[in-house]
Structure 1
Amino acid sequence: MSWMRGPLLAFDLETTGTDVETDRIVTAAVVRLDPDGAVAAERTWLLDPGVAIPEQASAIHGISTEHARAHGRPAAAAVEEIAAAVAEGLRSGTPLVVMNARYDLSLLDRECRRYAVASVSERLGEAPSPVIDPLVIDKHVDKYRKGRRALYALCAHYGVSLDDAHDARADAVAAARVVRRLGETHRPVGRMPLADLHDLQVRAAAEQSVSLQAYLRRTADPAAVVEPSWPLIPRSR
Structure 2
Amino acid sequence: MDSWHHHPRAAFDLETTGRDPLVARIVTASIVLVDAEGTVLEQHEWLADPGVEIPREAAAIHGVSTDRARAEGQPVGQVVHEIAAVLNRLFAAGIPVLAFNARYDFTVLASEGARHTVPVPLPFPVLDPYIIDKQADRFRRGKRTLTAMSEHYGVVLENAHTSAADVLATLQVAAILAERFPHLQRPAGVLHASQVVWAARQAASFQEYLRREDPAAVVEGRWPAIAS
1:188 aligns to what? Answer: 183
Q: List per-residue Cα deviations over 1:143-163 (Å, max 9, x = no partner).
A: 110000000111111111111
* Residue 37, structure 1, aligned to residue 30, structure 2: no
CA distance in 2, matches of 1:101, 1:113: 18
1:200 aligns to what? Answer: 194
Q: Secondary structure at the match of 1:51?
A: coil
Q: TM-score, structure 2 length as denominator?
A: 0.97
1:132 aligns to what? Answer: 127
* Residue 51, structure 1, aligned to residue 52, structure 2: yes
1:211 aligns to what? Answer: 205
Identity %: 48
How many pairs were matched up? 227
Q: Secondary structure at the match of 2:211?
A: helix
CA distance in 2, matches of 1:145, 1:216: 19
Which residue of 168, 175, 194 corresponds with 2:163?
168
Structure 2's unaligned 5+ residue stretches are none
* Residue 226, structure 1, aligned to residue 219, structure 2: yes
Alignment of 1:7-86 (within 5 A): 7-86=8-87
Q: Secondary structure at the match of 2:41?
A: strand
What is the root-mean-square deviation of aligned Cα atoms in Å? 1.0
1:3 aligns to what? Answer: 4
* Residue 119, structure 1, aligned to residue 130, structure 2: no
- 1:60: how far off? 0.5
Q: TM-score, structure 1 length as denominator?
A: 0.93
CA distance in 1, matches of 2:212, 2:38: 42
CA distance in 1, matches of 2:143, 2:24: 24
CA distance in 2, matches of 1:182, 1:164: 22
Structure 1's unaligned 5+ residue stretches are 122-127
CA distance in 2, matches of 1:34, 1:86: 16
Q: Secondary structure at the match of 2:53?
A: coil
- 1:196: how far off? 1.7
Q: List per-residue Cα deviations over 1:128-151 (Å, max 9, x = no partner).
A: 111100000000011110000000
1:151 aligns to what? Answer: 146
Give structure 1 regions of 4+ aligned residues with deviation exceeding 3 angstroms.
Answer: none
